[in-house]
């Protein structure tokens, strides 16, 4: 499942971030922000227009992502606390 598929207020564990090409700046930035293997992430809110942006929490920090960016993060609901 991808991060963009996560239901509102649900938690999951990050498995990986998809690189679309070599030196992918977006994938690198997502990892720098904390979207790394094993990290717990939660969908906190959705924006009012078309459900974008999506607001995610990693640790104590919140990040707004486009749906296309969130779709690049593979997650697993197993082992995450809801």
Domains: count for the chain: 1
Question: Taking the model in full, what pTM does it have?
Answer: 0.87
Beta bridge partners of 54: 46, 65
Here the tokens at position 39 are: 């990290």
CATH number of the domain bearing residue 9 = 2.30.30.90
| Residue 46 in this model has a pLDDT that exceeds 60 | yes
- The answer to the question of residue 66 being in a domain is yes
Provide the mean pLDDT of the chain.
Answer: 92
pLDDT band, residue 43 (cuts 50/70/90):
very high
Higher local confidence (pLDDT), 50 or 1: 1
Percent pLDDT > 90 in the chain is 83
Which DSSP symbol is given to 7?
P
- The answer to the question of residue 82 being in a domain is no
Using CB atoms within 10 Å of the CB of residue 65, give its burial: 0 to 12 exposed, 13 to 18 middle, 19+ buried.
buried
Domain span including residue 27: 3-76
- The answer to the question of residue 15 being in a domain is yes
Distances 55 to 1, 17, 20, 23, 24 between C-alpha atoms, Å:
17, 17, 23, 26, 22
- The answer to the question of residue 37 being in a domain is yes
């Amino acid at each position: 499942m991808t991060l963009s598929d996560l239901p509102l207020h649900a938690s999951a564990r990050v498995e990986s971030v998809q690189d679309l090409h070599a030196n992918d700046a977006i994938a690198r930035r997502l990892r720098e922000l904390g979207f790394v293997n094993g990290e717990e992430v939660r969908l906190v809110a959705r924006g009012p227009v078309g459900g974008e942006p999506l607001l995610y929490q990693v640790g104590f920090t919140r990040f707004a992502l486009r749906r296309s960016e969130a779709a690049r993060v593979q997650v697993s609901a197993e082992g995450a606390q809801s």
